[in-house]
Amino acid sequence: MQITMNILAYFLIPAYTVLFTQGYGWFTTNFSVIGNIMDKKLAFLTWGVMVGLYFYLVYRSISKHVSLKPLTARLIPAALLLLFFAITTPYLPDELPLKSFLHIVFAFVSTVLLLAFLLSVCWQQYQLAPQVYRLYLAALAVIVVISAALLALAGIVSSALEIFITITSVILSRRLAKRVAD
Angle at 132 between CA 170 and CA 9, to 5 degrees: 15
- What is the chain's percent helix, strand, coil content, to nearest 5? 85, 0, 15
User: Which tens digits make up the pLDDT trace of 76-123?
Assistant: 999 999 999 999 999 999 999 999 999 999 999 999 999 999 999 999
**pLDDT at position 1:** 79
CA atoms of 88 and 61, how far apart (whole Å):
27
CA atoms of 30 and 32, how far apart (whole Å):
5
CA atoms of 106 and 141, how far apart (whole Å):
23
**pLDDT at position 2:** 87
**pLDDT at position 38:** 83
CA atoms of 86 and 31, how far apart (whole Å):
11
**pLDDT at position 148:** 97
Q: In the chain, which residues have pLDDT < 50?
A: none
The residues, ordered by sequence, that sit 6+ positions from 40 with a Cβ below 8 Å of its Cβ are 20, 34
